[in-house]
Amino acid sequence: MSSENLGAVPIYQKAESLYEMSRHLVSYVSFNKDLVHLYQSNSLRDIIANSLLTDARLISKNMAQALASKSYRERLRNTEFISIMIGNISSYCTGLDKDGVAEKEYLNLLQMEIKSFRKSFAKWTRTLPNSSDDLPA
């Protein structure tokens, strides 16, 4: 699947939406407003926020790779990675909550988006062809 066709795929759109919501949350709750250099901060909140943002971006990236791949193994590897990142993002929200983020409603919105994405992702994963087309005969 070409990169220009990805925007028409609902599960990819949901992944991008999850990233956008994560980016907005991080820009709101982080102490360091320079999101490009967030990783350099010594603040626990900024470290968690940076990890959240990174993993949200990785979901979109791996979703694109899974959609483009003709290899069963590659699709499976990408979907397993996405599942891990979904769990990580949920844990980062918990970490931000424990760090005292006052904007709980934003964390709740992101948690709802994660839940929605997780449900759509599980449904989409069940539709993937499960043949071993890249295994030797």
Here the tokens at position 89 are 């993002």
Write down the pLDDT at residue 13.
94
Measured distance CA(36)–CA(65) in Å, rounded: 24
* Res 131 pLDDT > 70: no
pTM of the full structure? 0.84
Is 1 inside any structural domain? no
Instruction: Give the helix/strand (H/E) hosting 60.
Output: helix 44-68
Give the pLDDT confidence score for residue 118 in this predicted structure.
96
Distance, in Å, from the CA atom of 15 to the CA atom of 64, rounded to the nearest integer, reads: 10
- Whether 18 is covered by a domain: the verdict is yes
Domain count, the chain: 1
pLDDT of residue 7: 60
- Looking at residue 38, what is its pLDDT? 67
b/e map of 61-84 (b: 16 or more CB within 10 Å)?
bbbbbbbebeebeebbebbebbbe
Do residues 75 and 94 touch, judged by C-beta distance below 8 A?
A: no
Query: Residue 23 corresponds to which amino acid?
Result: R
Reply yes or no on whether the pLDDT at 8 is more than 80: no
Query: Domain containing 34: what range?
Result: 7-126
Give the model confidence (pLDDT) of 27-60 as tens digits. 888 766 666 666 676 788 888 988 999 999 999 9
Which stretches of the chain are assigned E, i.e. beta strand?
Answer: none
Q: pLDDT of 59-103, one tens digit each?
A: 999 999 999 988 889 999 999 999 999 999 999 999 999 988 888
Lowest mean pLDDT among 44-48, 94-98, 126-130, 132-136: 132-136
Q: Assess if residue 79 is contained within a domain.
A: yes
Domain at 20, CATH number:
1.20.1440
First-to-final CA distance of the chain:
26
Residue 133 lies in a domain: no
Which H or E element spans position 3? helix 3-6
Q: How would DSSP label each residue in 83-129? A: HHHHHHHHHHHHHHHHTT-S-HHHHHHHHHHHHHHHHHHHHHHHHS-
pLDDT at 1 (0 to 100): 56
